[in-house]
Amino acid sequence: MRRDIAGDHPGVPLMLRIRVLGETTGDPVGGAVLDIRHWDALGRTQVRGAQMTDQQGYAEFRTVHPGWQADVAVHIHAEVHVGGYLAGGRSIAHSGRLYLPEALTAEVAQLPPYRQIRTPRAVTDEQASTLHVVPRDRFDLVSGLLASIVVAVTP
């Protein structure tokens, strides 16, 4: 289990908060395992971490705004495992991409180290799984970002 996946990776700090709720009841799903991964700020290395949700269904990660690869919109890949973390993915209740808003990513792309990435970003239409992201300081993106999303699963 790793909450801090930023480690010594450069980039704009990002605190990611994911809440897992039951699809039919809307009740928090405690004890689910959230497994996330994304490209580092240079788009060269994948960073990865996992957290168990608390009784209110929340898990948090300290990371950096992802970099990007060709032909793929900027995102964090997330898997939610309910009822155990089984080999072969049999416990996966949700698997998908959590997209970063393109307008914000365009601003981040102007900052070091992101501006070193020569690969053009793929841009997608608004996604149902777009993260809600706000800057910690609206005048200074370098101070970090706060991101959140609710994921509904069938436990």
Q: Which of these CATH numbers, 1.10.10.60, 3.40.50.300, 1.10.260.40, 2.60.130.10, describes 13-153?
A: 2.60.130.10
**For 18-54, how does the pLDDT look when each residue is reduced to its tens digit (9 = 90+)?**
999 999 999 999 999 999 999 999 989 999 999 999 9
Ranking 53-57, 60-64, 92-96, 128-132 by mean pLDDT, the lowest is 128-132
Q: What pLDDT is attached to residue 139?
A: 81
What is the arithmetic mean of pLDDT over 74-86? 84
**118 Cβ contact partners less than 8 Å away, ≥ 6 residues apart:** none
Mean pLDDT of the chain: 89
Task: Please give the DSSP secondary-structure letter assigned to residue 141.
Answer: G
Contact between 133 and 147 under an 8 Å Cβ cutoff? The reply is yes
pLDDT of residue 84: 65
